[in-house]
Structure 1
């Protein structure tokens, strides 16, 4: 069962306080002094490494780092390693949720956030390794520092994902509302494309030398080829649509063929043109009727 936001915050706060309580006070004070005292080095190394990532350059600039982010990261380190009570831990972790929401709104990639956390932990580990402790003490200090950083970043990531999920749900709801309207507009656009092709065919019949664009080059033909299978699926509707498009293309070709054979209706007269088309239609009766001949005869009737 999913916990509420406050329950998750309380769980992280308890974990933060338990970590402090389980750590030797002298060791914890030394960790605080080492990290906070080395915060300038940590910040410098952090941004030097991150700025070398081309993807990070989209969200960072030298001016932004110098004026705001450098000081902000230094304060963040001080806040994380200065917590001494449950109230301070809750305040810190609640602030991390606000930071995570900001990261989500600017659409910062999650992989970039993970890289940033890895850099922070690595640099802190390097600084703790220079403290002069024995191996066991150094390992404990590194584990404690990593846990503190992870608890702070956990709240960021949770808010980040929560904000993204909220945005995704809103987008899906909007798509459901607008899908019908969008499809209606798409149908009107396809109808316009078909009408423009039809007008081009008629213009080609009456003007010698004018060759209309083939139906296959129109928007509706591209839609039938690429979009219709996704919208309609494979079924009788799609088959009927494809058959109708093929019939229209054949009908247009037959009418233009009549123009090439005897001339335009302007040159030979509309009656003679339609008579020739009708003769072609009578000849076609000897074979099974096809939609093309029917469309051609309809155009002249």
Structure 2
């Protein structure tokens, strides 16, 4: 061991003579391999009883994969040999820490988990009929190795969390750096449209359906999925959210009751509703007026979001979907035979194709959805509060429209092109990378089955 951080973290290891250490490691390895499944079971039983921890562990895929990974990690940990070099081992711990940061597992849960595992392994060691000195050395080595691994994870976790926070802030600034006046007027119009729909419903046909909650309107979707990122922590945003809750939970039920009575009571409730709408409009103006000029980080050619903001947005949308039980669907879209287009008509023609597929995609999604330039000719679309079936319909519409679209080239010629699309619906896994992987695999299947088609992820396709 030459690395100073390793020497500091594994000082007992360095001071123990080779023969004593070898005997202690044999004992430790025997205990862990013998009880690995029990340790994993104890880990899950303890943490599934914890409300905060169960959020991350309850998904079946996480349960299955993490159980195997935890067992393998324990055995790998206790077979690691610092004297032979720790590069691969360190890299593995850092990868685990980065995953923890990505799915936002609180670091104190990781520390609690390591403490539980150390306690259980220690208890098994003390039950062994072995030389007491060997048992003590095994206990010390185990404690050092676990602490060393957790320190490597924690360092990567802090770096990943810091980086994510920086990107979150950058995206917030970028969102605000778009055409602020247009965004403000669009949302004012959406708010007023909802208010008018409520009034038309009230004074329209008798027995008409109850008013749509404002939280489910176009304005409500924007507030939940866009404004929450753009204006995070703003007091005006909290005021708007409170006003929206007041409308949905108090005023709309009162309107339904008052409509049966009519007269002054209905007029009073409507005045209160109008006052709430005016309050939201005022707070909305205040929100946008606080915006300063921001950097522009959309893809300059297609106007889609840059991929660097994907982790911030998708991690937030996955968390929202899990906490609210709402739907989230991803589309992975790839232009078919794009290299042939570049080779035959040139890169300017290729750029034109990309711009126009981006336009077709954006024409078929809502302001609350997210469109990313994912790769060279790939786009990723996050459809918020959209079930997978509806996502397939949108994907088919994009595919048909693009196939029928005449793509105008710089020299005046017109060509047609097709796209392949993979669709994946979120089913509770806390890591957005898992959902992207499902969409990517569905796209791969669409391409291998002949291109110019839409395919859903394999888990759904098998059902």
Q: TM-score, normalised by structure 1?
A: 0.56
For 2:248, the equivalent position in structure 1 comes to: none
Cα offset, 1:145, TM superposition: 1.2
Q: SS of 1:81's equivalent?
A: helix
Task: Call closer, same or farther: CA 1:120–1:230 in 2, change over 3 Å.
Answer: farther
Q: Deviations over 1:142-182 (max 9, x none)?
A: 33211110111111121122111111101111222332447
Distance 1:222 1:73 in 2: 49
- 2:91 is the alignment partner of 1:94: yes
Task: Call closer, same or farther: CA 1:70–1:217 in 2, change over 3 Å.
Answer: same
Give the one of 145, 148, 151 matched to 2:145. Answer: 148
Contact 2:97 2:157 in 1 (8 A): yes
Distance 2:51 2:121 in 1: 24
- Length, aligned pairs only: 213
Give the one of 260, 263, 279 matched to 1:221. Answer: 279
Distance 1:54 1:214 in 2: 39
- 2:16 is the alignment partner of 1:20: no
Q: For the pair shown, which has the larger CA radius of gyration, 1 or 2? A: 1
- 2:187 is the alignment partner of 1:129: no
- 2:65 is the alignment partner of 1:68: yes
Distance 1:60 1:148 in 2: 24
Contact 2:118 2:143 in 1 (8 A): yes
Distance 2:24 2:136 in 1: 12
Task: Call closer, same or farther: CA 1:157–1:182 in 2, change over 3 Å.
Answer: farther
Cα offset, 1:224, TM superposition: 3.5
Cα offset, 1:122, TM superposition: 1.3
Across the aligned residues of Structure 1 and Structure 2, the Cα RMSD in angstroms comes to: 4.0
Q: Deviations over 1:62-119 (max 9, x none)?
A: 8547743332222111111112244442211111111111222222222322221121
- 2:113 is the alignment partner of 1:116: yes
- 1:202-217 aligned at under 5 Å gives the runs 217=275
Contact 1:16 1:89 in 2 (8 A): no
Contact 1:13 1:86 in 2 (8 A): no
Task: Call closer, same or farther: CA 1:88–1:33 in 2, change over 3 Å.
Answer: farther
- 2:103 is the alignment partner of 1:45: no
Give the one of 56, 70, 77 matched to 2:74. Answer: 77
Q: SS of 1:107's equivalent?
A: coil
Give the one of 51, 65, 78 matched to 1:54. Answer: 51
Q: Which has the higher contact order (CA 8 A, sep 6+)?
A: 1
Contact 1:35 1:128 in 2 (8 A): no
Cα offset, 1:213, TM superposition: 5.1
Task: Call closer, same or farther: CA 1:139–1:220 in 2, change over 3 Å.
Answer: farther
Distance 2:35 2:191 in 1: 71
Cα offset, 1:195, TM superposition: 9.1
Distance 1:220 1:190 in 2: 13
For 1:265, the equivalent position in structure 2 comes to: none
Cα offset, 1:189, TM superposition: 5.4
Cα offset, 1:58, TM superposition: 2.4
Q: SS of 2:144's equivalent?
A: helix
Distance 2:192 2:146 in 1: 64
For 1:205, the equivalent position in structure 2 comes to: none
Q: Structure 1 residues 123-132 or 22-31, which shifts more?
A: 22-31
Contact 1:13 1:90 in 2 (8 A): no
Distance 1:183 1:77 in 2: 52
Task: Call closer, same or farther: CA 1:139–1:230 in 2, change over 3 Å.
Answer: farther
